[in-house]
Structure 1
Amino acid sequence: MTDPKPTRLEYAHTPAGARTAILTIANPPLNLFDARLMRTMAADLADLSGQAPRALLLRAEGRVVSGGVDVHIFDGLGVEEGAALWKDLFAGIIHPLEQMPCPVIFAAHGLTLTAAFEIALACDIILAAPRAEFGLVETVVGLTPSMGGPQRLAERAGSGRARELVMTAGLYDATTMADWGVVNAVHADVEAAARSLLDRLADGPTRAHAATKQLIGAWRHGGVAEADSITPAVSGRLFDTADMKNGVQSFLTAGPGKATYRGD
């Protein structure tokens, strides 16, 4: 009997009919990121990229979100193999998440360490339960987080706090992460909140959400000037979408908040 997949990819629809996806980490007992989990998640994201939903939720089942990386994958690696590992993880997981043309939510219900936290930082919105804790603790094996965690943490919380969190290898609670701007919101029932937000975003103008991600991506790459330089073209294309045309007509005839969107 083969072991069950360490991830589970499910599709659903909102009550209004918008297509959503939920990607669950299910690698008990600690949801450790071993080579198999990393390969499976990369394959799931490749499938999603080929036929993107209108919103995506990443979550985990079990007592913790993840206890971190299975250190066995580092044992015996040389310089070239180590560099190749990080390159593959950027190409297979981090960048596909960021390039997904729809909102991506991460729900953290408990301890969220190393790779799982770095994956969360690649998502658009992070929600957490009050008891969730976060840490980038790679220094315990003489590494620094290398799936983009330090730089994405610095973007959200500032470079000083990013250095503190990584260098001390401390655990930080959900409230602190929210105060720092890393976590977007803390909810007593994070699962229900995440699924509600998933449906809300999927029912919205997802072509406009994709444009928002493109503009922020340009800002991350080249600052305000680069974002400004692409805004006319990126936002201009929205005028040719059915959702924008419907949204304008709905606003003019029924007032704000009445439009329905189909994602086109």
Structure 2
Amino acid sequence: MSVTVERLDGGIAVLTFSEPPVNLYSLELHDAFDVALDEVEADPPRALLIRAEGKIVSGGVDVAQFHARKTKADTLALYDRMLELPTRIDAMPFPTFFAAHGLTLTWAFEVAVACDLIVASEKARFGLVERVIGLTPTMGGTQRLAARAGVGRAKEFVFTGDLYDAATLERWNVVNRVLPVEGFDDAVLSFVRSIASGPTKAFGAAKDILRHFEAGGVPQAIEHTTAIASELFDTRDLQHGMESFLADGPGKATFEGR
């Protein structure tokens, strides 16, 4: 089992998880994620890419860890712990990406929808299949799916427990990009680089505004927009971006993420 962080040029951090043979969620894997995310947050990147090793992204969770709980209180403690992982990723102040190269079930899908952008290969399939053990998703996937695709689609996804291909979820506005299987990893990194080279602080501000939108709709987002945007005044990227625009026209600025 491993969760590693690789730093690439351009300020990109790549977090790769591996728990052979099928990358099942366990508390031990979660602990390893926390260590890796501590490393990411200690030196914030301009973009974070989360990916998996192996033939599939994940086959789901280690059901034995659920079954080992003997009381409702212990079960609640487990679910609260599990929810911490996508919640932590969702709160990050820089762009986050999830790369799905194959089958992506339960917890891995819930982490994916906690990221800002999901990039999938043409052969990727997704599912929240907790119905097979009589459970409902516990890591925020239902509501985050609803935020992207609507309540009706989220109900369908959870109630059926079916697997959905990448093209369908792109049509539902859940997956952002579907890419060919051949050259998938390179294409994902190219997409991440195109975002990472932008004004990182401004992207973080956009995320803050959208969190207010998710919490309280357009009125709450409007209430906070100008305060959030004005905090960018002191960023080097905004000052340089305005100077470059006035001197050289649009699209010539290079950003540092500060």
Q: Same fold per TM (> 0.5)?
A: yes
- Root mean square deviation, CA, Å: 1.1
Partner of 2:178: 186
Shift of 1:43: 2.2
SS at match of 1:33: coil
Classify the secondary structure of the residue corresponding to 1:112: strand
Q: Which runs of structure 2 are paired with 1:104-123 in the superposition (5 Å)?
A: 104-123=96-115
Stretches of structure 1 that go unaligned for 5 or more consecutive residues are none
Q: Is the aligned partner of 1:212 residue 2:206?
A: yes
CA shift digits 1:135-160 (9 cap, x unpaired): 00001111100100100011111111
TM-superposed deviation, 1:51: 2.4
Equivalent residue number for residue 88 of structure 1: 81
What is residue 30 of structure 1 aligned with on the other side?
Answer: 22
TM (norm. structure 1) is: 0.93
Q: Could you tell me which amino acid in structure 2 is paired with residue 231 of structure 1?
A: T
Aligned equivalents of 2:151, 2:244: Cα separation in 1? 44
Alpha carbons of 1:50 and 1:86: their partners in 2 closer, same or farther (altered >3 Å)?
farther
Give the Å deviation of 1:6. Answer: 2.3
Question: Would you identify which runs of 4 or more consecutive aligned residues in structure 1 move more than 4 Å?
Answer: none
Instruction: Give the Cα separation in 1 of the matches to 2:138 and 2:212.
Output: 22
Deviations 1:107-137 (A, max 9, x none): 1000000000000000000010000000000
Question: In 2, Cα distance between the equivalents of 1:113 and 1:214?
Answer: 28
Distance, in Å, in 2 between the alignment partners of 1:177 and 1:98 is 20
How many angstroms apart in 2 are the aligned matches of 1:237 and 1:162?
36
8 Å CA contact retained: 2:5, 2:40: no
**Are 1:13 and 2:5 matched, yes or no?**
no
Separation in 2 of the partners of 1:164 and 1:63? 27
Match of 1:153 among 130, 145, 148: 145
1:76 correspondence with 2:68: yes
With structure 2 as the length reference, what TM-score do the two structures score? 0.96
1:258 counterpart residue number: 252
Shift of 1:101: 1.1
Measured after TM superposition, the shift of residue 235 of structure 1 is: 0.1
Instruction: Supply the AA of the counterpart residue of 2:190.
Output: S
Corresponding letter in the other structure for 2:79? W
Q: C-alpha distance in 1, partners of 2:79/2:245?
A: 47
The amino acid that maps onto 1:61 is E
Q: Amino acid of the residue matched to residue 237 of structure 2?
A: D
Shift of residue 66, structure 1, vs aligned partner: 0.5
Per-residue displacement from partner, 1:228-262 (whole Å, max 9, x unpaired)?
Answer: 11111100111221100100111111111111111
- Name the structure 2 match of 1:42: 34
Aligned length: 255
SS in 2 for 1:251: helix
Once the two structures are superposed, residues 70-109 of structure 1 have per-residue CA deviations (whole angstroms, 9 ceiling, x without a partner) of: 1111013121112112212223x11211111110000100
Q: Could you say what secondary structure the match of 1:23 adopts? A: strand
